Every structure is written in structure tokens, then in C-alpha cells.
Amino acid sequence: MISLVLILPIIFCLILFFFKNNTLNNILITLYALLHSSVGIAYFLKPELLGECNYFGLGSSNIVFYLVLSIVFLAVSVYNCGYSKNLAKEFPAKKMMLYSIMILIFVFSMTGGILSNNLGLAWIFIEGTTLASAYLIYFNKTKHSIEAAWKYVFICSIGIALAFVGIILLTIATGDINTLNYNDLMNNAKSFSHFWLNVSFVFILFGLGTKMGLAPVHFWLPDAHSEAPSPISALLSATLLNCAFLVILNVYKVMLCANCVIFARTMLLIMGFLSLFVTAVFLYHTTNYKRMLAYSSIENMGILAIATALGGIAYFALIIHLIGHSLIKASFFLTSGNVLELFETKRIKSIRSLGLIDKKTAWLWIASFLGICAFPPSMLFLSEFLIVKAFLIQKHFILCALFLFLLTVVLFGMARVVIKMVYGKKSEEKFELAKKNITKISKTMYIPQVAMLTLAFILGVYIPKFLDVIIKNTLIG
């Protein structure tokens, strides 16, 4: 089944290339999303169905990342059924075909990156995500989308190059052990050169930190996330960033096994807090609500980096936060697509009285805000509570205060935007336009957000036994 989940999207792309039909596009994307999810289910029901492969595998180290990708992709594929109908009215069948093909290749690349057992192979797939998603960011062909796509390709290509240098330095650190298999690296890590291992970690962290969206190498992210079509923004924020983080996490485990963890933790803490600081500062100056969500992604990637650095109980918080952020942020970006369909603008000051125009979208917007800002019973409340507890246990009182302060600043910045958009005084011109456009919003453009937010809030109160086992098996060390 692992081979099937990697081969099938290529077959589907060939079918779409010859049959340029929007209905077929949606059917094959949804079908692949269902197959993708079935592999995750098979892992629990009958692991032998997955088969064995030297270079790809599904196990305790990557199952959470795979399941998150499956759930978000399935939700996006359902949302895309309604969203693509609106796109099809503006763009020709050939362009819609390319849009669908690139979605399949994008998800295929992320899947390969998550399933890879080999650092070199994972690097290739991460590069593949850049090539596939660049077209999707550029899709609307506006001045800003072209600029965002070029910035994305340029910055991420530099990041990938830095990561490649880091991999070369890692091979120097390994000495006579000629392998990039994660398990082999961890098993032999104690014999590695600490100097070269530390240097390689710097290059890999900065290189893949570019794809993950960590400051100070985050510059592509606000532009790309804000200019891409909303289903693509959801995939970029909720799944692509996780793929890069998984590779960093696997290299971090090698550092842990080699007893170089103090250096690695220091680097992660610096970049994590810098990401929170950048979000807190720039969030107040953005006039685009999709850019606001993009900066929120930078913040949450910073939180994941901090949780990794703290260790202990923060490892549990890390997995909880990763799941919660992916579900809620995907919902937030998909809902932003509804807002864009209604008002035909991304400018915050042009969006007012959303609650009077489309109550369902307004409530999804509010619920996504409450979830991403860690209001209980959001999963992020649980994860951030545990991170604060880890700070206090380790007696990092100043860092804990700084962490809470930056989160509060971000919360206030997002709250004032959300409240104005939902309850602000309406503009008659925009109000009438939005009322006219409400027919563009189909049921499939509400259901995925409801499902993901419900799941995120339920898991914030009750974690089923099977999920608790998964999380504990995923923990580092």
C-alpha cells in the first residue's frame, strides 16, 4: 500500500492530462485523499498490508505526521470540490487540469518526504514540494502572486542548498559509516565527530528551517500563503511546514544520540523565540487577513521549535500542538477562502459585518481564531499549558514570561482583526457585493472546517487511548 500511495498520484496525473474535465479532477483528487487516509487506517488494523520497503516506511516516528497530512488533504479535497467550481468559471479547462495535477504532485512530494527512511531521499522530496507548489502559488497570475512565487522559489532553493551542504557535512561527521538511513545514523551517532555534527545541524536547521517557516529565514511564507488559492494555503501551512519539521526532528534525534543536544536545543530556542517575536511585531502592520494567518503559522512553528528544545513533558506538548495547529490552521485558511469569495478582497479594512452576511462563515472564522489562540477546549491550550509547565519545571522563569508575553501580543493582534471583520460597521457597497456572492459558497465549503474544528476541540478535552499510545510512541528518547 505504501508503493500504491506513491505510484497512484503519478497515474492520476497522466489521466488528468489526457482528460481535461473539472469533475474528473475533483473525483481523482478526492479518491487519492481517501486512499491516502486508508493507508493510515491500515497501519492500525493490519500493518502487514503496508508491505516493506528499504527506503520508505510508516512507523512510530512518522505516523502522526502522515495522519495529519491525510486528514487535512481529505478536508481540502472536499472543500476544493466547491472552490474549483468557482475557479472553473474564470479559468479554462487546461489551467484547471494543471492546477489539479500540481495538487497531486504536491501531496505526493510531501508524502514521500514523510515516509522516507533516508535523509537524502527526504531532501529530494522536500525539493519536489518547492517545484510543485510554486505553480500553485503563481496560479492567479497577478503581480503579487508572481512576486510571491519567485520569492518562494528563490529563498527555498537557497534553503534547500544549505540543507544539502549540511547533509554533506553530516557524512563527514559519520566517518566510515556511509549511510543516511535515519536508524543507522542514530545507532552509530556516538562515534560521530561532534564538531562536524554541530556544523551540519546549523546548515540543516537553517536550510530546512526555511521550508518550515522559522525566523529569520521565513521571508517567503507571508507572501506565498497569502497569494496562493485558499486550499493551497491550507496545505502549505498545515502540512508542508510539518514535512520540513519532521526532517529537522529526525536530525535532532541524531544529535540527541550523539550527546550534542545542548547545542541543538540552544539553536532551536533562539529560532523559536525569534519566530514568536517576528509574528508579534509584523502582525500589527499587516493589512491582509491571509498574511495575518501566515504570520500565525510562523508563530506556531516557533512554538514547535521551543517545545523540541525544552524536552521532557514538552515533547508530549509538541505532538499535541502539531496536530492542533494543522487542523485549526487548515480550517482558518479554508474559511478565509469563503471570506475572499464573498468580498473579493484580502484587505482587512474592507471586510465588515461578516456575521450579517454569512453566519456560518462568521462562526467558523471566530471558532478558528479561538482555536489558534489557544482558548480552551482547543488542543493548543493543552499544548501551550504543558510548554509553560516545562519552562517552570526547568526553572526558565524569564523565558516563560517572555513566551507568555509574546503569545498575548499575538492574541491581541489577531483578536482586534477578527472582531472588526465580524462585527465592524458595514460598508454598503461591500455589503451588497458580499450578499450577491453568497451563492458561490456551497455546503462543501463549510463541512471540512466544521469537521476539523470539532476534532481539534474534542481532542483538547479527551484524547482517546489509541491516540495517546501513538503520541507516546512518537515521543523522542
Kindly report, residue by residue over 258-270, the tens digit of the pLDDT: 888 899 999 999 9
- For the chain, the structural domain boundaries read 264-477
Name the DSSP letter for residue 287. Answer: -
Q: For 49, how many CA atoms within 13 A lie in the half-sphere containing its CB?
A: 12
Residue 241 cell numbers, joined: 511546514
Local structure of 190: helix, strand or coil? helix
Per-residue pLDDT, 24: 92
Per-residue pLDDT, 183: 87
Confidence of residue 33 (pLDDT cuts 50, 70, 90): very high
Per-residue pLDDT, 1: 72
Residue 458 pLDDT greater than 80, yes or no: yes
Give mean pLDDT, residues 121-143. Answer: 91
Local structure of 288: helix, strand or coil? strand
Whole-number Å distance between alpha carbons of 203 and 209:
9
Burial class (CB in 10 A: 0-12, 13-18, 19+), 203: buried
Give mean pLDDT, residues 323-339. Answer: 95
For 76-95, the pLDDT digits (tens) are: 999 999 999 888 888 888 99
Q: How many CB atoms lie within 10 A of CB 275?
A: 30
Residue 477 pLDDT greater than 60, yes or no: no
Q: Please list the residues that pair with 118 across neighbouring strands.
A: 181
Q: Please list the residues that pair with 288 across neighbouring strands.
A: 347
CA distances from 403 to 261, 269, 397 (A): 22, 11, 10
Whole-number Å distance between alpha carbons of 238 and 70:
11
- Name residue, grid cell 508572481: 146
For 391-449, the pLDDT digits (tens) are: 999 999 999 999 999 999 999 999 999 999 998 877 777 788 888 889 889 899 999 99
